[in-house]
Amino acid sequence: MDMTVRPRRLRGNDTIRRMVRETRMDKASLIYPMFVREGSGIREEIPSMEGQYRYSVDCMGFELERLMDAGVKSVMFFGIPDHKDEVGSGAYDENGIVQRALREARKQFPDLYLITDVCMCEYTSHGHCGLLCGHDVDNDSTLELLAKTALSHVEAGADMVAPSDMMDGRVAAIRRMLDQAGHTGTPIMSYAVKYASAFYGPFREAAGSAPAFGDRKSYQMDFHNSREGIREALLDVEEGADIIMVKPALAYLDVIREVRNVVNTPVAAYSVSGEYAMIKAAAKLGYIEEERIIGEMAVGAYRAGADIYLTYFAKEIAKLMEEGRIG
């Protein structure tokens, strides 16, 4: 055969394949989401997320140490309080569950990078992400409480805050309050492009955050829309977001790419609980090779344009990177 161009020349062995690899990943880009709850002596597995646990503050150190040993140096805390009320007061309580977890993690693991989810849904008795006016979530009255929550997290030791509520103007409100308190160097990672997705089901069980009525479609995005995601991303950059997140990841790779093309900030992708649960269930039935699927999904997010990957598989992906199977 007389062929001048043979793409297979660059696939002949592992050395050349890695040399010409277009998508490169690093452990430093991984963030592990972690659930912390009230109580003591607690390490309880989440039924819909096999291998994931809710930890009391006194028991989370073991898992944090495992993350550090794997090379995963960033964690995002989600709090599960015992007490909930109409105004989500546990979210901004200086002795709230996330605030205590931050102080303990900072004491035990000074080199760990601590990020917090900023939202009201885990703390409100109605399960919505803001204050209610009748059966509607009132956007503007929620902003001050979100900003207070972010400030309380930073004062307890958070390195970064990540608002996930999808209220209009919340990045500006948080940036303003942090700056006024002297925390001008604290970055905000905004869940800017967050869809009203069925992929969140296991998380809502894990965090006890399902809404008591209705749904979140009046503030989370319609999954049919991509141009709206660009608008949300650009608005949050203008308000002071330092990192833009797209959530979920797997079904929204096109959106990750479109956001990457228009913003000049780092882009994060959150591989959510439903993605995790599907892999675990299919692997348990022998339908897929778990490690290969985990790696392929992660590479897909990075290839689409993500710089940062939030995933419950952070330790496993770090291992795949260490072994040279991805990255």
pLDDT digits (tens, 9 = 90+) for 217-267: 888 999 999 999 999 999 999 999 999 999 999 999 999 999 999 999 999
Question: Is pLDDT at 214 greater than 70 in this prediction?
Answer: no
107 catalytically annotated: no
Return the pLDDT at 244: 97
Mean pLDDT of 121-133: 88
Q: Rounded to two decimals, what is the model's pTM?
A: 0.95
Mean pLDDT of 25-47: 96
Helical H segments across the chain, by residue range:
14-19, 60-70, 97-108, 139-156, 170-180, 201-207, 227-239, 253-262, 273-284, 290-304, 314-322
The model's confidence at residue 183, banded by pLDDT at 50, 70 and 90, is very high
What whole-number distance in Å separates Cα of residue 185 and Cα of residue 122? Answer: 27
Q: Of the listed 84, 148, 247, 315, which one is catalytic?
A: 247
Mean pLDDT of 159-178: 97
73 catalytically annotated: no
Return the pLDDT at 207: 64
What whole-number distance in Å separates Cα of residue 137 and Cα of residue 323? Answer: 47
Question: Is pLDDT at 283 greater than 70 in this prediction?
Answer: yes
What whole-number distance in Å separates Cα of residue 213 and Cα of residue 135? Answer: 8
Give the amino acid at 50.
E
Mean pLDDT of 287-296: 97
Residues found in the chain: 327
Q: Of the listed 148, 194, 280, 319, which one is catalytic?
A: 194
3-class secondary structure for 76-90? EEEEECCCCECCCHH
Return the pLDDT at 126: 87
The model's confidence at residue 210, banded by pLDDT at 50, 70 and 90, is confident
Question: Is pLDDT at 275 greater than 80 in this prediction?
Answer: yes
Mean pLDDT of 51-62: 97
Return the pLDDT at 161: 97
